[in-house]
């Protein structure tokens, strides 16, 4: 029944794409997309395709984005990957139950990028939408805080099931099927909130600051070490990257200090997990097995979502359904060096563009600094787990970065390097942020 409701919302979303009030269309469309990507992810496993709310809605918006905004969605970033997948399916990989599903999930991730670019273009150069955008993000954080708080108190809501319950019972998981997912989602939400702390509207700035501080709570309640450290690192890098038009204290100390105070309430639970499991379970073993397989199939891999089936033939633990706990290595073993590079090409492109724009004192620069601040978090989270490649999580990642890319690459606003900001009048600098 719930899937019927979501599909109906997806069709309604298509109607919103038709000519209407631009503000209503943009905000309502983004709200529905964030609901299915950052709150109620309904995708299946990496080797299966589930006709669900997330698939239907993201695919609809992605296709509309490709048709209506072909050039803005940067489809050229995915043409080599699509060609590689088609070639591999036809001539290289030996098939398997999960290979077709894994390939379709990668296509879904591509459509999520197109959807993010489409929505990003709707919000680009439109400071009047900043408050609505910030409210949507803060509502996601508040909802996850409420859910994780209730779970911590023992209320049976969005309960874990199966193996996740056996291994991770006692940790808050928010609205997701694994406790570590909520931290991955909220670090991306934090990335989108960071530029809003420099919005021209004071209410928007305060809301964004509140959302950043509050996001630490569910991340900490989930007791995910990598996510918790990544969130703190993001805040620190963001603060250090602030341009010189920001007051010294607020740039260097205020936000990190506030986040540090909030984090102190949860340090004990994080340290407890370190004491119980200092090396992260069987991660070293899984990496050794993955390296052995990589040595056999370095260039083309074993095929999308084929890791457990193929590598499980040489390792009993892997055969039970445990992939290597490293998203980079997992993608390299499955797609090979060539395919993995093509898969991560859009992300690499986004990070490079952001680094080049990081010194701009403008809306572009704000989003660029947020993306650069997210980079160490992305590397740490991906290096210590494979969850970033789960279809729902990867779709959200590509959606958020494509959305941000539209802001970073905008050419409609005046730009100035941070080293030149002293030459720009204060009133002019304020207008740049608006």
| pTM for this entry | 0.90
Question: What mean pLDDT is predicted for residues 130-144?
Answer: 95
Question: What mean pLDDT is predicted for residues 231-247?
Answer: 85
Task: State residue 268's pLDDT score.
Answer: 73
Q: Which range is least confidently modeled, 12-21, 129-138, 156-165?
A: 12-21
Percentage of the chain surpassing pLDDT 90? 56
Query: Domain limits of the chain?
Result: 2-433
Coil, helix or strand at residue 424: coil
Question: What mean pLDDT is predicted for residues 107-131?
Answer: 88
- For residue 421, is pLDDT > 70? no
Q: Which range is least confidently modeled, 31-35, 334-338, 375-379?
A: 31-35
Task: State residue 247's pLDDT score.
Answer: 61
Task: State residue 428's pLDDT score.
Answer: 44
Query: Which sign does the torsion angle of CA 62, 175, 140, 215 carry?
Result: negative
- For residue 427, is pLDDT > 70? no
**Any idea what DSSP says for residue 429?**
H
Task: State residue 366's pLDDT score.
Answer: 95
DSSP assignment string, 167-184: HHTTS--TTSSSHHHHHH
Task: State residue 430's pLDDT score.
Answer: 46
Q: Which range is least confidently modeled, 15-19, 218-222, 390-394?
A: 15-19
Find tokens 């905008």 and name the residue.
Answer: 410
**Alpha-carbon distances, residue 108 vs 18, 45, 52, 99 (angstroms):** 23, 13, 12, 14
Question: What mean pLDDT is predicted for residues 25-35?
Answer: 81
Q: Are 315 and 282 contacting, i.e. CB atoms less than 8 angstroms apart?
A: no
Q: Which range is least confidently modeled, 187-201, 243-257, 324-338, 375-389?
A: 243-257
What distance in Å separates the CA atoms of residue 173 and residue 97, rounded to the nearest whole number?
Answer: 29
Percentage of the chain surpassing pLDDT 70? 82
What is the average pLDDT value for the chain, to the nearest integer?
A: 84
- Residue 339: band (very low, low, confident or very high) from pLDDT cuts 50, 70, 90: very high
Task: State residue 283's pLDDT score.
Answer: 85
Question: What mean pLDDT is predicted for residues 240-257?
Answer: 72
Residue 270 CA to its chain's centroid (Å): 22
Bridge partner list, 360: 417
Task: State residue 9's pLDDT score.
Answer: 58
Which one, of 107, 1, 105, lies nearest residue 45 by Cα?
A: 105
């Amino acid at each position: 029944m719930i899937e019927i409701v979501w599909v109906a919302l997806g069709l309604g979303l298509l109607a919103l794409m038709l000519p209407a009030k631009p503000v209503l269309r943009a905000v309502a469309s983004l709200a529905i997309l964030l609901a299915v990507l950052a709150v109620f992810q309904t995708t299946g496993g990496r080797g299966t395709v589930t006709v669900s709310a997330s698939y239907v809605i993201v695919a609809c918006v992605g296709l509309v984005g490709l048709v209506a905004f072909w050039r803005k969605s940067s489809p050229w970033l995915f043409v080599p990957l699509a060609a590689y997948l088609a070639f591999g399916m036809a001539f290289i990989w030996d098939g398997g139950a999960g290979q077709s599903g894994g390939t379709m999930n990668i296509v879904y991730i591509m459509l999520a990028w197109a959807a993010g670019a489409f929505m990003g273009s709707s919000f680009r150069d439109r400071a009047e939408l900043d408050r609505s955008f910030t409210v949507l993000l803060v509502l996601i954080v508040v909802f996850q805080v409420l859910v994780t708080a209730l779970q911590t108190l023992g209320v049976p809501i969005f309960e874990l099931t199966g193996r996740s319950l056996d291994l991770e019972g006692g940790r808050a998981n928010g609205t997701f099927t694994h406790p570590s997912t909520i931290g991955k989602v909220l670090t991306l939400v934090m990335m989108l909130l960071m530029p809003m702390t420099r919005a021209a509207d004071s209410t928007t700035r305060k809301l964004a600051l509140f959302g950043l501080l509050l996001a630490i709570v569910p991340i900490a309640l989930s007791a995910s070490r990598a996510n918790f450290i990544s969130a703190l690192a993001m805040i620190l890098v963001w603060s250090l990257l602030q341009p010189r038009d920001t007051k010294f204290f607020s740039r260097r100390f205020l936000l990190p200090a506030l986040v540090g105070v909030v984090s102190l309430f949860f340090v004990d639970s994080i340290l407890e997990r370190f004491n119980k499991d200092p090396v992260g379970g069987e991660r070293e073993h899984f990496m050794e097995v993955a390296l052995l397989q990589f040595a056999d199939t370095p260039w083309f891999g074993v095929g999308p979502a084929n890791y457990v089936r193929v590598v499980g033939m040489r390792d009993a633990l892997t055969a039970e359904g445990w992939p290597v706990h490293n998203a980079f290595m997992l993608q390299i073993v499955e797609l090979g060096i060539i395919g993995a590079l093509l898969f991560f090409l859009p992300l690499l492109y986004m990070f490079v563009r952001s680094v080049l724009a990081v010194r701009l004192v403008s809306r572009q620069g704000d989003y660029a600094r947020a993306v650069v601040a997210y980079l160490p978090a992305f590397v740490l989270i991906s290096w210590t787990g494979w969850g970033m490649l789960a279809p729902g999580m990867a779709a959200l990642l590509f959606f958020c970065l494509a959305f941000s890319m539209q802001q970073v690459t905008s050419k409609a606003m005046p730009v100035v390097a941070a080293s030149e900001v002293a030459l720009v009048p204060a009133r002019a600098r304020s207008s740049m942020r608006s």
